[in-house]
């Protein structure tokens, strides 16, 4: 059977003193270092999460700005195309008017020439008719 004597109490007291000394000198500093390390890791993780959120926000803003710039570019391109079509129609209209004016001028010139030729032809036919009449009567 086990017998309890005074040496057990002394061993028990020494072990408790050893535990207290080791706790103060070894375990507590290690726990403090581990707690500081865990706190540092947690703050680094939080900073990483915040940085990722900031990156995603910046990326979203950048993509929105790109979309707006593209929309603006497409709007400018559309307006320039419309302006070009209007200018083309205006130029076509001017060229058409010039051509009509030239055609009208040419038509008037031809009509004048036809009248002149008709009057010349009438004079010649009258002259020829007189000559034929003279020859027939002479």
11-37 pLDDT, tens digit per residue, is 889 999 999 999 999 999 999 999 999
Tell me, what DSSP letter sits at residue 60?
A: H
H or E element at residue 3: none
| Percent of the chain whose predicted confidence (pLDDT) is above 90 | 76
pLDDT value at residue 2: 60
pLDDT value at residue 3: 66
Instruction: Please tell me the distance from the alpha carbon of residue 109 to that of residue 17, in angstroms, as a whole number.
Output: 134
pTM for this predicted structure: 0.48
Domain ranges of the chain: 9-110
Mean pLDDT of 46-57: 96
Per the model's pLDDT, the better-predicted residue between 1 and 76 turns out to be 76
Mean pLDDT of 110-135: 89
Residues in CB range of 123: below 8 A, 6 or more apart: none
pLDDT value at residue 137: 81
Q: Where are the alpha helices (DSSP H) in 1-138?
A: 6-22, 28-137
């Amino acid at each position: 059977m086990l017998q309890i004597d005074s040496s057990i109490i002394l061993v028990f007291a020494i072990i408790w003193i050893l535990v207290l000394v080791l706790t103060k000198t070894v375990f507590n500093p290690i726990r403090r270092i581990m707690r500081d390390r865990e706190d540092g890791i947690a703050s680094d993780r939080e900073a990483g999460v915040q940085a990722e959120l900031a990156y995603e926000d910046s990326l979203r803003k950048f993509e929105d700005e790109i979309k707006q710039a593209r929309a603006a570019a497409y709007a400018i391109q559309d307006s320039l195309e419309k302006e070009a079509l209007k200018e083309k129609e205006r130029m076509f209209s001017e060229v058409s008017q010039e051509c009509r004016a030239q055609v009208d001028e040419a038509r008037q010139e031809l009509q004048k020439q036809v009248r002149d030729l008709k009057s010349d032809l009438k004079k010649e036919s009258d002259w020829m008719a007189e000559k034929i009449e003279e020859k027939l009567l002479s």
